[in-house]
Structure 1
Amino acid sequence: MIAQGFTPKLLTVWREGYSLATFRADTLAGLTVAIVALPLAMALGIASGASPDKGLVTAVVAGFLISMLGGSRVQVGGPTGAFVVVIFNVIASHGYDGLLIATLLAGLILIAAGLLRLGQMIKYIPHPVVTGFTAGIAVIIASSQVKDFLGLTIENVPADFLAKWQAYLGALGSIDGATVGIGVAALAIIVGLRRAAPRLPGFLIAVVATSAAVALFHLPVDTVGSRFPDMPVGLPMPSFPELSLAKVNAVLPSAFTIAFLAGIEALLSAVVADGMAGTRHRSNQELIGQGVANLGSAFFGGLPATGAIARTATNIRSGAKTPVAGMMHAVFLLLFILFAGRLMAYVPMAALAAILFMVAWGMSEYQRFLALLKMPNSDRAVLLLTFGLTVLVDLTVAIAVGVTLASLLFMARMAEAVEVRRGGDRDAELDKEDLDQRDDLPKGVEVFRIAGPLFFGVAGELLDTLRRLGAPPRVIILRMRLVPLLDASGAQAIEEFARQARIAGAHVILSGVQPQPRAMLERIGLGEAAGKISYAADYASAQALGIELAGLDDAARH
């Protein structure tokens, strides 16, 4: 008997019953995602310092296994931008065999993490750290594509960020007009279609259009075929990389970094998927699925893989119902490779650079980055330090320093929030707390009391609470008088809670909010004047407002 927490969602779906109509919906969603993933996998393979076929192999093998064995109904996996920096450095230092060994080890680490039930550990990564290193990776990815986008003549592009830009500035005189034209055209197509026809596969259309232009007009630009003349077509035979204790020791730190990134991005993507589709993922099983997928990818000579937020969102919007959609996405990609692999040689490198610019822009989450800059100095320091270390030093160092600093700052803020009272003093207001707080509430009004600081370690409980409600009420009261401290992650959790409640048609009322949490909520646009949520001075006022709002809803429905 498999424990519920370690049951792949595919098996759950199969037990529930799988209809032909569901298969049709999953197949259509899988085809849509495959069309999006095809040029993206090629671009990420090249950006990682490998080749486009490596990205495609990863998308096929790992994408299939992640959906088949993962803990999410609609997660789609494959190569992602988060790995680009790490993969590039591992290949440069230890060769491609070293990367395969690191990917194998990362897979084993992920499986062990899942079996040890570490899937919930993601909630302890502070929001400014995640945003900081994600934005830093975005800057690095965009910087790595400047040469191909402008057609610069540089023999060897330095790996260091500052040295790289120094080389770019020194080679500005070699900009190629045809290459820039192709890159700008691809970028314009992608951006234009996102605004005018967002359902169309902008990446693929941009690649096809620019490839056709290069072929028809014989433009002298660098293409996949000219850069990788010996690129194989199809899936390679599985093989085991040559292991040695020295190589394992050399790549072990990189393996932990890959496993950490894979786990973080996969679970973040699963949380996003839950919010969009109204599902609930199994975090430990998701880690196990990710681990097996990375083992499979390494056996076929692929890259590290994880859940991909953009492809998962596309999957959901395209009508995916079950993990079969992600498996079909991998099947369609394999068919594309087998029957249209030779055509990939005509794809211009500048078009792939344009795709990666858009990937970097999406990863940057600039709106969230700017919102965090409005937070107190402590959160802002964690964000900027993590971002700076990611870009200028090393991703592993950035995460370690960011988490350590966030923890120390949190302890300092907790010390400031402690109030020392005389032993005989009692809190008269606490004595009046109604332990049966739901007794006087009408149908359609729900209430929850939050006690203690709402910080990055417990923020996720809010969203779990909303999901556990099933059919949402018309009004939700959050009693916050006992919350002395709210950090950036806690504020973001309340914002997401309020957003999902609004989507479900529920009003959110906050009662008894203390000054520090109120100030934090105002910083992210959730103040009383914004009108997104309601505030009440105490619980009695919140009850009266809740009854009024529930009554208004009833009146509106009749």
Structure 2
Amino acid sequence: MSWSPRGLLPSRADVDLRPRTVRADLVAGVTVGIVALPLALAFGASAGVGPAPGLITAVVAGIVAAVFGGSRVQVSGPTGAMAVVLAPIVATHGPSAVPLVAILAGAIVLLAGATRLGRVVTFIPWPVVEGFTLGIATIIFLQQVPAAVGVHASVGGNPLVVAIDAVAHAGASLWWALGSVAVVAAVMLVLPRFAPGLPPSLVAVVLVTTVSQLADAPLARIGALPDSLPLPLLPTVDLGLLRALLGPAVAVAALAAIESLLSARVAAAMPTSGGAPDDDSRRYDPDRELVGQGLASIASGAFGGMPATGAIARTAVNVRAGAQTRLAALTHSVVILGVIYLATGAVSVIPLAALAGVLMVTATRMVSVAAVRAVMMSTRADALVLVVTAVITIAVDLIEAVQIGLLVAAFFTLRSVSRATSVHREPLPGPAQPGDEHIALYRLDGAMFFGAADRIGAQIRASADALVVVLRLSQLRLVDATGAHALAELVAALELSGVTVLVKGVQPQHLQLLTRVGVLDELRHEEHLFDDLAPALEHARSHVARSTAARSADTAEHQRAAS
């Protein structure tokens, strides 16, 4: 099948400028822009590249993803998870490497979307997602500890070790920094109860900034910011640096794809004010979403920004604010662009401790306690998958955490399927007839696959004490090549030992595989394959009768010869 861009590019259906939707989208876009401003600053600083690339990413990537992405309500930009992945890259290769990583990762994500790999994310189990989210939230929280205690810390180290070291070396600004974090947290937690229309994170940052300026507090500030967007410029490409960054770029691309698709999926299931998802505005195309996010990261890197992803928190705010079309996400970027051109002086004096407070609260809200509790109380296997994923996320690496989480989840799933696969020796139906004791009827249930094939074959061989074995395969839901090969070996072993094997009820979808692997070739005769049990048992009884008669004749002949 030839490749086609159908469905991957913008179309007229993306544009909806009815008065009702325009008004709702503008309100939602302004709301999200105000919420996203402090987050963009904070995530840029947290990644180690500074607040300016965070703003650039929110504007450039936000616009490109809104136009080319697969979700009408997705809001894209810098995220906490991406900041976690970028921090060690910055520590190793410096901030100047980030735009190149963004372009490389964007190209990989774009290729994944163009080759229709968007639905792969649906195979990530729920415990892995929750463990990944818990681990990311913990890392984001720990990364803010140095700023929260007024200590400058280098990026790239283990966040737990860096946080402990920062607490141990807290300086003279400790109480000012802790007070700033406490005020921000209090405002963000309390303000929505009394004034739900106000953006709590922005109000908190403005309050702390004003007080710290009036009191001339000894707090580290954001510092100078660009008062305009830079011109797009491809970063200088050094072949050695390109090779060194290819691995990190793959990890960034994997994270961007997973986080963006999870965000779009969450947005698609979010209830509206009426209590049910709006299928028309919330429907998304996972392949087009990857294309849009890939182009967004490429564009962001060209302007000197960071890799971008769909942001779950900002997308949720967008949906709850009533967004209907892509205009809301575009408006969010325009709001941040206005800040760059009109208000960088005010933004430059924001204390880093205030941004740390915003991120700490954001990190705690990323984790659904109810969801984690539900997973932990479901099964031991799911609980272990969540814990392993979270621990590896914190202690080792985000992408490795997802990979190992998937492996652990797959192991337990295969074990469960293997245990659900069974073989039962059944009594022959109907009245007993002479010779029935020489017929063994086995029913195979579940899946005959590599995880259960040897066990099933061993059980039948160990208990097969008959002249004829009838294998009922109509209840097998799955047969893979290993399972089919094990069946062929079982049939061959039984036939070699003098036992006649009859096969009954092969499902049409399994017949071709069993034929190719050689199961039917091992049968003594092609007529030993049956669709129904009754003729199979009739044939088995006839065979037993002939075998019994032949044995009796042989016994009589031996007796005559002996006498």
Query: TM (normalized to structure 2)?
Result: 0.71
1:50 aligned partner: 49
Aligned to 2:8: 6
The amino acid across from 2:317 in the alignment is T
The count of residues paired between Structure 1 and Structure 2 equals 424
Q: Give 1:235-254 correspondences, 5 Å limit.
A: 235-254=229-248
CA RMSD of aligned residues (A): 2.5
Partners of 1:142 and 1:356 within 8 A in 2: yes
Question: Partners in 2 of 1:166 and 1:333 — Cα distance?
Answer: 35
Report the Cα distance in structure 2 between the residues aligned to 1:357 and 1:6, rounded to whole angstroms.
37
Conservation of the 8 A alpha-carbon contact between 2:146 and 2:167: no
Say which one has the larger Rg: 2
Letter in 1 for 2:185: L
The alpha carbon displacement at 1:396 in A equals 2.3
Residues 108-153 of structure 1, C-alpha deviations (whole Å, 9 max, x = no match)? 111111111111100111111121122111111111111211224x
Q: CA deviation at 1:383?
A: 1.0
8 Å CA contact 1:158–1:164 kept in 2: the answer is: no
Verify: 1:409 aligned to 2:403, yes or no. no
Distance 1:120 1:423 in 2: 43
Tell me which residue corresponds to 2:188: 190
In the alignment, is the contact (CA less than 8 A) between 2:392 and 2:398 conserved in 1? yes
Conserved? CA contact 1:141–1:360, under 8 Å: yes
Aligned residues of 1:79 and 1:305 also touching (Cα < 8 A)? yes
How far is 1:367 from its partner? 2.6
Q: Distance in 2 between matches of 1:156 and 1:57?
A: 23
Superposed, 1:41-440 pairs within 5 Å as: 41-152=40-151, 156=154, 159-172=157-170, 174=172, 176-225=174-223, 230-276=224-270, 277-278=277-278, 279-421=282-424
Specify the SS of the correspondent of 1:336: helix
Q: Which moved more, 1:246-255 or 1:108-117?
A: 246-255
> What is the alpha-carbon distance in structure 2 between the residues aligned to residue 84 and residue 232 of structure 1?
20
Shift of 1:416: 0.7
| Cα shift at 1:415 | 0.4
C-alpha distance in 2 between matches for 1:109 and 1:329:
26
Flag the 1:155–1:12 CA change in 2: closer, same or farther, 3 A.
closer
Residue pair 1:81, 1:359 contacting (<8 A) in 2 also = no
CA gap 1:240/1:415 in 2 versus in 1, 3 angstroms:
same
- The DSSP-based 3-state class of the residue aligned with 1:274 is helix
Q: CA contact under 8 A between 1:372 and 1:383: conserved in structure 2?
A: yes
Residues 51-110 of structure 1, C-alpha deviations (whole Å, 9 max, x = no match):
111101000000011111111111111111111111111111112232222211111111
Gaps of 5+ in 1: 427-451, 454-481, 485-558
Structure 2 CA distance for aligned equivalents of residues 130 and 248 of structure 1: 31
In structure 1, distance between residues paired with 2:159 and 2:25: 42
How far apart in 2 are the matches of 1:88 and 1:379? 30
Measured in 1, the distance between the counterparts of 2:428 and 2:106 equals 55
Cα 1:320/1:156, change in 2 over 3 Å: closer
Q: Against the structure 1 CA distance between its residues 169 and 204, is the aligned structure 2 distance closer, same or farther, given a 3 Å change threshold?
A: closer
Corresponding letter in the other structure for 1:6: L
The separation in 2 between residues aligned to 1:156 and 1:251, in whole angstroms, is: 20
Provide Cα deviations, 1:389-448, integer angstroms capped at 9, x if missing partner. Answer: 11111222212211111112211111011132459989xxxxxxxxxxxxxxxxxxxxxx
Q: Is contact 1:150-1:180 (8 Å) kept?
A: yes
* Structure 2 CA distance for partners of 1:165 and 1:41, relative to 1, 3 Å: closer
Give CA deviations for 1:311-354 in whole Å, capped at 9, x if unaligned.
Answer: 11111222211111111111121012101111111211111011
How far off is 1:179 after superposition?
2.1
Q: Is the 8 A contact 1:262 1:307 kept in 2?
A: yes
Deviation at 1:21, TM superposition (A): 3.4
Q: What is the CA deviation profile of residues 182-215 of structure 1, one whole-angstrom value per residue up to 9, with x for unaligned ones?
A: 2211111111113333332001101111111112
Distance 2:325 2:155 in 1: 43
Instruction: State the partner residue of 1:524.
Output: none
Distance in 2 of aligned mates of 1:425 and 1:209: 82
State how far apart, in whole Å, the 2-side matches of 1:425 and 1:201 are: 74
Contact 2:75 2:314 in 1 (8 A): yes
Q: Please give the secondary structure, in 2, of the residue aligned with 1:66.
A: helix
Instruction: Name segments (4+ residues, structure 1) moved above 6 Å.
Output: 423-426
Separation of aligned partners in 1, 2:198 and 2:153: 37
SS in 1 for 2:29: helix
8 Å CA contact retained: 1:158, 1:167: no
Q: Percent identity?
A: 39
Q: CA 1:425/1:166 → structure 2, altered by over 3 Å: closer, same or farther?
A: farther
- Post-superposition CA distance 1:373-397 (Å, at most 9, x none): 1122211111111111111112222
Asked if the contact 1:234–1:341 (Cα under 8 Å) also holds between the matched residues in 2, the reply is: no
Contact 1:136/1:364, CA 8 A, preserved across alignment:
no
Matching residue of 2:441? none
1:26-64 deviation per Cα after TM superposition (whole angstroms, max 9, x unaligned)? 122111111111111001111111111110100000001
In structure 1, how many angstroms separate the alpha carbons of the residues matched to 2:180 and 2:101? Answer: 36
- Give the 3-state SS of the residue equivalent to 1:420 in structure 2: strand
The one-letter code matched in structure 1 to 2:248 is S
2: CA distance, partners of 1:425 / 1:269:
56
Alignment check: 8 A CA contact 1:262 1:305 kept: yes
